[in-house]
Structure 1
Amino acid sequence: MKKKRTRWQEIILVISSILLLIAGLTLVSGPWIKSALISNYSYDYTRETITSSKIQENQSTLGEFDYAAVVPPSLVDVLAAMNTDYSDQVIGQLTIKSLSMNLPILKGTTNDNLLIGAGTMQENQVMGMGNYTLIGHHMQDKSLLFGPLLKIKEGAIIQLNDQEILYTYQVQTTKIVSETDMSVLADVGDNRLTLITCDVSSATNQRFVVVATLVEKKNLNQKNVNTHEPKNNTEIMSKNVQEYQEVVSLTQKHEKRSISVILIGILILLFLGCLLFFIRKHYRQLEH
């Protein structure tokens, strides 16, 4: 009887040790996995072609705006989003080439929307008109979502598009305000873009705000309507090369994150395999 009790104590000790090791491994690798998955989600919805008619349909639906409920996403939230279809929420795209930012714009301020891109903050917002306000998460990984915004400079170019019009804004100023300061959402008589995120990646009651004014609108279905378009073949070729390099850079960044997820997954499987081998070996020793 004593021998049997000791055996069960050993088994419980082994299982407890394994659970602690798994918890530790999850704690260490969790942030990497979360960052890679968020990057993949965002990339999928910026790469996916959503038609202008679909965007108009999404824009006509009612959005959810629950600022108080928005919290930084956990690993569980990110994993749960794997089966979420965001195609009914996407209404455009935000691009800041100087920061290598390329994010989908989704209607409404919800935890789900902010998990993959920028969310609108008011129901009747219209791109290129009044104060178009967007909010996004500031993650520990500064390259994700709105994290890069804190490095933006005055004069930087920000572009929005809804598959019909390309809206170009130029940054005028940045500032830090209280989270309760709703004046940043107000229309002030001009056509501007306001981007909002937390000033730090941890809990905070302050917000970092970027204000940019509209400088140009271009119909994406028409050619050469922009007076700033290249005038000769050399300039056209130079622009095409630059755009190609930007696409390659974003693709390589996405691929690196995907490789990181795969490597972490392989390491976890190897680790669990070793643990399983250890358990079976130890259990057989106890039986003898």
Structure 2
Amino acid sequence: MKRKSSLGIVFIIIGLVLFSIPIHYEWKKGKEIAALEEAFSLISSPQEAPVDLSLIDDVHLNDEELQDLVKLEIPTIGLDQIILREPTEENLSLTLTQIKYEQVPGKGNFTIAGHRGYRENRLFRNLPDVEIGDKAFLNTGTQTFVYEITSSTVISPTQVDVLEDNKKKAEITMITCTLSGLERIAVKGELIQINDSL
């Protein structure tokens, strides 16, 4: 009888540990996202003295990487996410990333990757809901680039031509997985306006 009772307690403890792992993971990622938002807010605010981003806790990026933060907003799907420059697994688990490291908003094809995510308004979960004509806003802190969505298609993972620059127009391309993970959703838009943010 004691053995069954001990075994039951062990299973309860294992269950609690397994249950707490994703909660801890989400809490940690939430702190990192909040820190990135704080860094972006400081960079975007007019300041007389240089901003010391090293004072922000819970950020795994260096000062140079923090200075390069870009924010993507698509109001129609409630998307408001920071974009990191390097598409590493760590960065992709946290937020959206550029696909091409040296790209610049407003020039060529600004490409963005993001996981589908499993929670509302997280990563690119709602990207398939974007409609033609919707607006996407890339904010660099000093300028906002306004793109109008022109297409949303399902493509194979090997169809990388959607990432190529178009010499005739500035574009944005956003990529995420389909629910099955076997294909990709590619949403494209064309630059229609540039506004100064400050």
When normalised by structure 1's length, the TM-score is 0.56
For the aligned residue pairs, the C-alpha RMSD in angstroms reads 2.6
The structure with the larger Rg is 1
Q: Normalized per residue, which structure has more helix? A: 1
Which aligned pairs between 1:226-241 and structure 2 lie closer than 5 A? Answer: none
2:190 is the alignment partner of 1:208 = no
**Percent identity of paired positions between Structure 1 and Structure 2:** 24
Q: 1:192 to 1:105 in 2, by over 3 A?
A: same
The whole-number CA distance in structure 1 between the counterparts of 2:182 and 2:175 is: 13
Q: 1:137 aligns with which of 112, 115, 120?
A: 115
Residues 218/84 of structure 1: CA separation in 2 closer, same or farther (3 Å cut): closer
Q: Does 1:86 align with 2:61?
A: yes
Aligned to 1:174: 152
From the two aligned structures, give the one with the greater strand fraction.
2
Q: Give deviations 1:139-163, integer Å, cap 9, x for gaps.
A: 2224311111121111111111111
Q: Report the equivalent of 2:76.
A: 98
Q: Which amino acid aligns with 1:24?
A: G
Cα distance change, pair 191–25 in 1 and its aligned pair in 2 (3 A): same
Kept after mapping to 2: 8 A contact 1:43/1:103: no
Partner of 1:198: 177
Label 1:153 to 1:26 Cα distance change in 2 as closer, same or farther (>3 A): farther
The SS at the match of 2:94 is coil
The Cα of 1:176 is off from its aligned counterpart by: 0.8
Q: For residue 21 of structure 1, what is the aligned residue in structure 2?
A: 12
Deviation (angstroms), 1:123: 2.4
Give the C-alpha shift of residue 24 in structure 1: 2.5
* Mean Cα deviation higher: 41-50 or 109-118: 41-50
Structure 2 match to 1:41: 32
Task: Supply the AA of the counterpart residue of 2:197.
Answer: L
CA distance in 2, matches of 1:96, 1:137: 16
Instruction: Provide the residue aligned with 1:262 in structure 2.
Output: none
TM superposition outliers: structure 1 runs of 4+ over 4 Å: 26-37
User: Structure 1 residue 154 and structure 2 residue 132: aligned?
Assistant: yes
Gap runs ≥5 in structure 2: 45-56
User: In the alignment, which residue of structure 1 is the partner of 2:50?
Assistant: none
Matched residue of 1:147: which SS? coil
The answer to whether structure 1 residue 183 and structure 2 residue 161 are counterparts is yes
CA contact (8 A) 1:103 1:116 kept: no
After superposition, residues 259-270 of structure 1 pair within 5 angstroms as: none
CA distance in 2, matches of 1:148, 1:22: 36
Mapped to 1, the partners of 2:140 and 2:160 lie a distance apart of: 26
1:171-217 deviations in Å (ceiling 9; x for gaps)? 111011111111111112210000011111x5x22111110110100
Question: How many aligned residue pairs are there?
Answer: 181
TM value normalised by structure 2: 0.79
Does the residue aligned with 1:51 lie in a helix, a strand or coil? helix
Contact (CA 8 Å) 2:141, 2:197: kept in 1 or not?
yes
Does the aligned pair in 1 maintain the 2:111–2:174 contact within 8 Å? yes
In the alignment, structure 1 segments of 5+ residues that lack a partner are: 1-8, 53-81, 222-288
